[in-house]
Amino acid sequence: MTIELQINGKLHVGRVERYMHEALERDGALHFTLLDPEHRDENKLKAIIEAAERAGTDAYMVGGSLGVVQSATTQLMKLLKKMSKKPVIVFPGNVDAVTELADAIFFMSLLNSRNSYWISGAQAIGAPVVRAFGIEPIPMAYIIMEPGGTVSFIGDAKPIPNDKPDIAAAYALAGQYMGMRVVYLEAGSGAKKPVDVRVVATVRRAVDVPVIVGGGIRSAGDAKKRVEAGADVIVTGTLVEDEKDVYKALSAVVHAVKEGGKKRLKKKA
Ligand code: 1GP
């Protein structure tokens, strides 16, 4: 799965993407913790980061679709940098999410949006900023599945029904053929049901790049089933915001992801 992309001898895969591939080769699957800067209770954020560190999360994503102001994003990034050595990746809800403190940004196109702003417009506005800040862009195909939630509404998406895995796979493959190096299957933050296992399996078979799955994953079982179906990265956000015992909930999910990953590595060997 290692990607070596060289043009005129210059390596175009950055540090965070390399970290992701190396960790995948070692563990088989990864867990990313999503923090939404809309939530500004610093003590709660500290408790979540502490728990995520202890649980062994592999990286942090920072972003949200609504109620995000740049000052809160910067503050959260600073806190993360103080408390963790893990990569911090911007998961942009819009152009103003770009901050210079991040290690990388999922430079994503919402492939199944009806509005060209979310496919290439915001990207054109954001690209010079990403370059000026020197943040590593990781080109990503962002695909919204039903129900899709807030991000689907804001992003003017045509969410793909969960009983149509072939449509999701077609979008994912189109993303790969357009040069995107990661696929993200999104059910929407807080979704009642995560992306269907059959969708994950079909997309996994269709593409070679890592597949990230998020939205509505709340239990170790949810996470493990999706890793076994082929998810390379499991993202949880709401889980850490809702649970009373954040560490217990997170460590169960991270453990399940790693167990699923080990199984996949064994299968490959
Ligand atoms: C949302 O996929 C992420 O963009 C995470 O979703 O908040 O439901 O975990 P949850």
Domain span holding position 152:
3-268
Q: Which of 68, 153, 183, 186 to mutate to test the pocket of ligand 1 (most atoms within 8 A of CB)?
A: 186
Whether 253 lines ligand 1, by a CB cut-off of 6 Å, is: no
3-state secondary structure string across the chain: CCCCCEECCEECCCHHHHHHHHHHHHHCCEEEEEECCCCCCHHHHHHHHHHHHHHCCCEEEECCCCCCCHHHHHHHHHHHHHHCCCCEEECCCCHHHCCCCCCEEEEEEECCECCHHHHHHHHHHHHHHHHHHCCEEEEEEEEEECCCHHHHHHCCECCECCCCHHHHHHHHHHHHHCCCCEEEEECCCCCCCCCCHHHHHHHHHHCCCCEEEECCCCCHHHHHHHHHHCCCEEEECHHHHHCCCHHHHHHHHHHHHHHHHHHHHHHHC
Predicted pLDDT at 39: 78
Whether 63 lines ligand 1, by a CB cut-off of 6 Å, is: no
Q: What is the CATH number of the domain that holds 36?
A: 3.20.20.390
When comparing pLDDT for 69 and 181, which is higher? 181
Report the separation in Å between the CA atom of 217 and the middle of ligand 1, taken as the mean of its atom positions: 7
Residue whose CA is at the smallest distance from ligand 1 atom 1: 189
> What percent of the chain has a predicted confidence (pLDDT) above 70?
96
Whether the model pTM is above 0.85: yes
Q: Which residues face 90 on adjacent strands? A: 62, 105
Whether 190 lines ligand 1, by a CB cut-off of 6 Å, is: yes
Atom of ligand 1 nearest to the CA of 64: 4
Q: At what angle do helices 197-206 and 220-229 cross, to 10 degrees?
A: 30
Whether 150 lines ligand 1, by a CB cut-off of 6 Å, is: no
Report the separation in Å between the CA atom of 149 and the middle of ligand 1, taken as the mean of its atom positions: 10
pLDDT, tens digit, 9 for 90 and up, residues 189-206:
999 999 999 999 999 999
- 69 contacts: CB under 8 Å, gap ≥ 6: 37
Alpha carbons 52 and 163: distance in angstroms, whole number: 33
At 68, the pLDDT band (50, 70, 90 cuts) reads confident
Q: Which of 32, 33, 34, 226 to mutate to test the pocket of ligand 1 (most atoms within 8 A of CB)?
A: 34
pLDDT, tens digit, 9 for 90 and up, residues 75-116:
999 999 999 999 999 999 999 889 999 999 999 999 999 999
Tokens coding 201: 């399996």
Q: Is the pLDDT reported for residue 5 higher than 90?
A: no
Q: Which residues face 144 on adjacent strands? A: 186
Q: Is the pLDDT reported for residue 4 higher than 80?
A: no
**pLDDT, mean of residues 154-162:** 98
pLDDT, tens digit, 9 for 90 and up, residues 171-188:
999 999 999 999 999 999
Q: How many domains does the chain have?
A: 1
Whether 214 lines ligand 1, by a CB cut-off of 6 Å, is: yes
Report the separation in Å between the CA atom of 6 and the middle of ligand 1, taken as the mean of its atom positions: 33
Q: Which of 213, 217, 233, 254 to mutate to test the pocket of ligand 1 (most atoms within 8 A of CB)?
A: 217
Report the separation in Å between the CA atom of 214 and the middle of ligand 1, taken as the mean of its atom positions: 5
> What percent of the chain has a predicted confidence (pLDDT) above 90?
84
Q: Is the pLDDT reported for residue 9 higher than 70?
A: no
Q: Which residues face 143 on adjacent strands? A: 185
pLDDT, tens digit, 9 for 90 and up, residues 46-57:
999 999 999 999
Alpha carbons 121 and 129: distance in angstroms, whole number: 14
